Amino acid sequence: MLAKVRGRAAYAVIVLLLLLVMLAPFEWFLARYTTLMIFIGLNTMLTVGLCLLMGYTGQVSLGHAAFFGIGAYFSAILSKTYDVNPWLAMGIGAAATGAFAYVISYPIFRLRGNYLAMATLGLGLIIYILFRELGDYTGGPDGMYGIPYLSAGGFVFDTPFKRYFLVWGLCLAMLLISQNIVRSRSGRALRAIHGSEAAAESVGINSAQFKMKIFVLSAVYASLAGSLFVHHLRFVGPQPFGFLASVMVVVMAVVGGLASVWGAIFGAAAIRILSDKVLLEFGELDLIVYGLILMVVMIFLPQGLFVGLKEGYARLRLRYVRREAEP
């Protein structure tokens, strides 16, 4: 019964996405929102990785922007400085980020709770400083310009409109992969780990290995998003990979709902629109607003916007049906 509702909700999201894709060609939409939609897509990629990590293995990462940045800089440096094919550069970046995540998962997952959060925070800061200080490669605080567009055969992704489809195609693929993982045996194992790690181990689940795999997967997602990000902007600088970016991903994951794959879109969209359209007025105070959002969502919608809205709708309908039934 529950599975049925969940399945229907997933279909609703897919239909919604298709609608958005079909809406895109309209000129007014294109003119106003394509860039925003691209950013929402990129943020969704980051968020869904973190949702898997936080919602299904119960681990926190406050340094996720670092992986986003590593992918971005790999793509930028390889494709601009060394003239590597952008797709290849993207692949190399993803592989390198995955390998990096694999190596650091050994020391980092010995920690738990707040200590793990602190360690990932530190990691994010270190990587951010490296982006800024390794000026010979990264262009330092000024960044790098003139990064080539992605192209396939003779087709160049040179307009936001084309990149919109590229980003959302890849984003949808990542969401479906995540959905598959969550629904499969591995997903049950992940939920079991979240339920009780000791009991999960006692039935034969290698919890350390599962956490590591999800960590690597989320890092690879972030890296791919980073690569698309630089090929979209054709510029890379350290600023989008700092602490605030990591916090924003966490806020998006929480708002969307930690244990829901499709919620990632909602979280990413809500926070992105808020930060682009509203919070500019607040200037430096936006961090406070994110904190407030985090608190409010945690208290009133602990399962996130997606599940929260769904349940709210169910409750409303139930009330409506009851009223109908009254004589």
Partner 1 sequence: MLKVEKAVVAYGRATALREVSLVVNTGEIVTLIGANGAGKSTLLNAISGVVPLKGGDIWLDANRLSGLPSHRTVRLGVGYVPEGRQIFGTMTVMDNLTMGSYAHVARNWLRPLGYAGWALRSDTVKSNLEMVFDLFPVLKERRGQQAGSLSGGEQQMLAIGRALMSSPKILLLDEPSLGLAPNLVRDILRLIARLRAEGLTILLIEQDAAAALKIADRGYVMERGRIVLEGSSQELFRNDEVRQAYLGKTRA
Contact residues toward partner 1 (CB under 8 A) are: 183-185, 188-189, 191-192, 194-196, 198-207
Q: State in angstroms the smallest separation of the CB of 185 from partner 1.
A: 5
Eight-class DSSP state of 259: T
Nearer residue to partner 1 within complex by CB, 70 or 200: 200
Nearer residue to partner 1 within complex by CB, 150 or 189: 189
DSSP secondary structure string, 58-69?
----S-HHHHHH
Q: At what angle do helices 304-325 and 286-300 cross, to 10 degrees?
A: 40
Alpha carbon separation from 203 to 197, 217, 232, 248 (Å, rounded): 10, 24, 46, 36
Q: How many whole angstroms separate alpha carbon 220 and alpha carbon 226?
A: 10
Please name which of 91, 7, 9 lies closest in space to residue 309, comparing C-alpha atoms. Answer: 9
Nearer residue to partner 1 within complex by CB, 55 or 242: 55
Q: What is the sign of the dihedral through the CA atoms of 96, 37, 87 and 238?
A: negative
Q: State in angstroms the smallest separation of the CB of 222 from partner 1.
A: 25
Q: State in angstroms the smallest separation of the CB of 97 from partner 1.
A: 25
Are the C-beta atoms of residues 83 and 145 closer than 8 Å to each other?
no
Q: State in angstroms the smallest separation of the CB of 200 from partner 1.
A: 8
Q: State in angstroms the smallest separation of the CB of 201 from partner 1.
A: 4
- Considering only CA atoms, give the Rg of the chain: 20
Nearer residue to partner 1 within complex by CB, 59 or 120: 59
Nearer residue to partner 1 within complex by CB, 204 or 327: 204
Nearer residue to partner 1 within complex by CB, 79 or 207: 207
Are the C-beta atoms of residues 63 and 197 closer than 8 Å to each other?
no
Q: State in angstroms the smallest separation of the CB of 303 from partner 1.
A: 11
Strands 144-145 and 235-236: antiparallel
Q: How many whole angstroms separate alpha carbon 13 and alpha carbon 45?
A: 16
